[in-house]
Amino acid sequence: MPHHAVIREKSETTKLRVVFNASSKTHTGKSLNDILMVGPVVQSDLISILLRFREHKYVLTGDIEKMFRQTEITPSQRHLQLILWREDCNQPIDILRLNTVTYGTASAPFLSSRCLLQLANECDDESIARIIKSDFYADDLNTGADTVERLQHIYKNVVEVLDSACLPIRKFRTNCPQLFHNETDSGKPMDFYKDSSVLGLNWSPTADQLQFSTDLTPSPQITKRTVISTTCKVFDPLGLLCPCVIIAKIILQELWSSKLDWDDPVPLNFCKNWSSLLKEFLHLSNIKIPRRVLSENPRSLELHCFVDASQQAYAACVYVRSQNQDRSITVRLLCAKARVAPLHSTTIPRLELCGALLGSRLCFKVLQSWRGNFSQKYLWTDSTIVLAWLKTQTKDLKVFVCNRVNEINKLTSGFIFRHVPTDKNPADLASRSVSPSQLEASALWWEGPSFLRNDESYWPKTAHTHIPIHLPEILLH
C-alpha cells in the first residue's frame, strides 16, 4: 500500500497518523482497492437519520473516537496491509504490518460499521440495539427521545455497550440540559450545548434550530466547472432550500444545453445572472428553522404532501401536522424535493404527474424512516387532470401516464388525494422558484397553507364540476 503522507500528533507520547492511498495502481495496473470487496451498506442512509432527528423532543449527537483504529483486522488478512518504512534514504527498509482497519481502503467503512451491527445483535436491550443499528451514520450518533429519562437511558447504555468494544464516544451535543448535569471530564468544563454539525447541517442545541452555511466565494472566471462546484456547496439533503437551489439547477441546465466545454468562459448574460444569484444566496445563512417538526406532546399526527409543476421544474414538499391535547395545531415542513423539467418539450399535465410521483416517492421514504404513526396521509395537487388520472383504470391510459399512475397508487396506499388551489399550494414556490430573501419570510413554505391549522371542515373541497370530462392520454378502444 503506497505511503501518501505522515502527520505527527503532539501528545504525551509521539504518535503517527498515517494517511494511505489504497487506490494507487501498482506495476500490475491494479490497486489494493481494486481487489478488495467493498461490502454492503449495513447502516441507515443520511436522509432517514435526518428525518428521525426532526421527530424527537430531545436529541443527542456524538461520534466514536478513532473508529477505524479501534477495529482489528483478522490476522489472516493483515498481510494485505504491509507497508515499507524507513526514516531516510541511508536507513534499511522495515516491513510493517497494519493490524487495524485503515482509512483509505475500500472495505474500511463496511468493516467498522459491521462491528457496530454485531454489537447491536449481541445487545440484550432491543431498544438500544435498534439505536445502534439505525441511528449511526458511519461513526456519528444522531438519536433522541421524548423524555429526559428515556434519553438518559439511551446515553448510559449506548456508551456502555460501545465501551465494551473499546469504541469510546466523544463530542456529545444535546438540547437537554439535564442530561449531563453530573458529567465531569477530569475537572475540565465541557460544552455540551455548543453549536455543531449534524451530518452536514448546522444545529444550535441551545436554540434547537437548524441553520445553513454557505461558502460561495465567486471564482475569478465563471465556467461550467465552477458553477457546478459552487452549486454543490449548498448542502441541503432534506430539500428545505429547494425553491432557491432549483434556480441554480435551471441555470445549470441552460449552461449544459449551450454545449460549452468545462473550462470555457460562459456568455456575458449568464455571468450577470449567476453573479446576482450568488449575492442572493448569501441570505441563506439567515434562515433558521425549528429542528423539531412536532408540537408539544402531540396526540395525533398527519402527513401532508403537496405537489406542483411548471414548464421549468416540478416539486413536492412534505409537512407534518400535529395536534396536542388542547387541540392546538402545528404544521411544519419536514422535507422537500424539486427537479428540473426535461429539456424536450412536454405537457404541463405530464409534468404535474411527475410531481405527484416525486411526492409519492418522498412520502414513501418518510414512512420508511419515521418511527411515529400517522393517523391520516394526504397528497394535494392543483391539477384536476392528475386527480382524474389517479381514479382512472390504468388499462385505459397511455404508457407514460399508466406507468406513473401505477407506481403512485402502489406507493400511496391508504392516502387521500385532494385538490388545493394554486395560490395555497406551497409546492408552487419550489416549481417556479423564489429568491432566498423571499423564502426566508415565506410562512406558506415553512408552515404550509393556513387552512391546515383549521379543522378539516374548512379545508378546500374539490367540486365535481372541475373534474375534466375529456381526459388527455386516454387510449381509444
Pairing of β 3-9 and β 58-64: unpaired
81 neighbors 75 (Cβ within 8 angstroms): no
Interatomic CA distance for residues 460 and 237, integer angstroms:
31
What residues does 380 pair with on adjacent strands? 306, 418
CATH superfamily, with its number, for domain 290-466: Ribonuclease H-like superfamily/Ribonuclease H (3.30.420.10)
* Owner of C-alpha cell 385532494: 418
Q: Helices (DSSP H) in 286-435: which residue ranges?
A: 348-369, 384-391, 399-411, 427-432
Sign of CA dihedral 92, 95, 101, 106: positive
Write down the domain spans for the chain. 3-209, 224-286, 290-466
Q: Cα separations (Å) of 344 from 224, 248, 257, 279, 399?
A: 21, 19, 11, 31, 18
State the Cα angle at 133 between 131 and 137, rounded to 5°. 90
Query: What does the block give as the cell for 394?
Result: 390504468
pTM for this model (two decimals) = 0.90
* pLDDT, tens digit only, all 477 positions of the chain: 433 333 333 344 455 666 688 899 989 999 989 999 999 999 999 999 999 999 999 999 999 999 998 999 999 989 888 888 888 888 888 998 999 998 889 999 999 999 999 999 999 999 999 999 999 999 999 999 999 999 999 999 999 999 999 999 999 999 998 887 766 443 344 566 677 788 888 999 999 999 987 777 777 788 888 888 888 888 899 999 999 999 999 988 988 888 888 888 888 888 888 888 888 888 888 899 999 999 999 999 999 999 999 999 999 999 999 999 889 999 999 999 999 999 988 999 999 999 999 999 999 999 999 999 999 999 999 999 999 999 999 999 999 999 999 999 999 999 999 999 999 999 999 999 999 889 999 999 999 999 999 999 999 987 654 566 688 999 976
Kindly state the helix (H) or strand (E) to which residue 208 belongs, with its residue range: none
Query: What does the block give as the cell for 242?
Result: 429547494
Pairing of β 169-174 and β 94-97: unpaired
Interatomic CA distance for residues 288 and 201, integer angstroms:
11
